[in-house]
Amino acid sequence: MSSGIPASSGLHVAIIPDGNGRWAVQRGRPRRAGHRAGAEAIRRVVDAAADLGIGHLTLFAFSSDNWERPAGEVEALFGLVRQFLLEQAPHWVGRGVRLRVIGRRDRLPTPLRAAIASAEEATAAGQGMQLRIAVDYSAREEILRAATRFYTTLEISQEAFGRMLARLSHTGESFPDVDLLIRTGGEQRLSDFLLWECAYAEMIFSKKLWPDFGEADLEEAIREYHTRPRRFGRLQAEKAG
């Protein structure tokens, strides 16, 4: 672990890696080139997160609303995700990283579905960083699906609902709430990402475009996170009484 960073093994960090298209346009290149550079940044940041000892990491790769983009861009994105998973899975196995993909699978191209299944299976025994990549993901859709099934359950509680949500997201088991949400690209919104899980997330918005985001930026975000008092509606310890 890097020196000077407080222990982060209990943290769930979520990232909305935005700005690939603008990065490419600024360089007079096709948006696809931005997504390629974005995949490279994801590779670096996943490694950096594991080096920092972060316990849980969720990355937004493709939102259900991203289907509204031109077919060629969607196809390029899916191709990149597939290639990324095939390349990284053996590396993650070596690092003890476990991958789960959340979101809908039924609309994805068959080769991508196969790559997801194979990467999940290969990394299933990973006891290190728990990595989730969201593909064809919509938080509202997941919440709605969980709600429609939920009325048959006997235990009605936020915990039980959270477990149901996690099961529907193909994770099989529950994932902790998000502690820190990072979004690059300058926009300050959630764009339908982890709405339930971000109830008390600290948020850091970076103006950097995603392909320019690196290890040092992640470290800086974690450092800032550790300076923020989290109260969850209570009073700070020293002010209680």
Cβ closest to Mg ion, residue 18 vs residue 179: 18
How far apart are CB 18 and ligand IPE at their closest, in Å?
A: 5
Of the candidate residues 12, 13, 18, 206, the single one contacting ligand IPE (CB under 6 A): 18
DSSP the chain: --TTPPP-TT-EEEEE---HHHHHHHTT--HHHHHHHHHHHHHHHHHHHHHTT-SEEEEEEEEGGGGGS-HHHHHHHHHHHHHHHHHHHHHHHHHT-EEEEES--TTS-HHHHHHHHHHHHHTTT--S-EEEEEEEE-HHHHHHHHHHHHTT-S--SHHHHHHHHHHHTT-SS--PPPSEEEE-SS--S-TTSSTTTTTT-EEEE--S-GGG--HHHHHHHHHHHTTS---TTS--GGG--
Say whether 66 is catalytic: yes
Active site residue 20: no
Q: Beta partners for 57?
A: 13, 131
Shortest separation between residue 20's beta carbon and Mg ion, angstroms:
7
* 2, 83, 171, 191: which one binds ligand IPE (CB under 6 A): 191
Q: Does 16 bind ligand IPE (CB under 6 A)?
A: yes
Site map 7..36 versus Mg ion, x via CB under 5 A: -----------x------------------
| Residue 155 interacts with, from Mg ion, ligand IPE, none (CB under 5-8 Å by kind) | none
- Candidate residues 13, 17, 84, 138; the one interacting with ligand IPE per rule CB under 6 A: 17
Pick from 2, 66, 83, 171: which binds ligand IPE (CB under 6 A)? 66
Q: Rule CB under 6 A: is residue 142 a binding residue for ligand IPE?
A: no
Tell me which residues touch Mg ion (CB under 5 A): 18
Tell me which residues touch ligand IPE (CB under 6 A): 16-22, 38, 60-63, 66, 77, 185, 187, 189, 191
Positions annotated as catalytic residues are: 18, 66
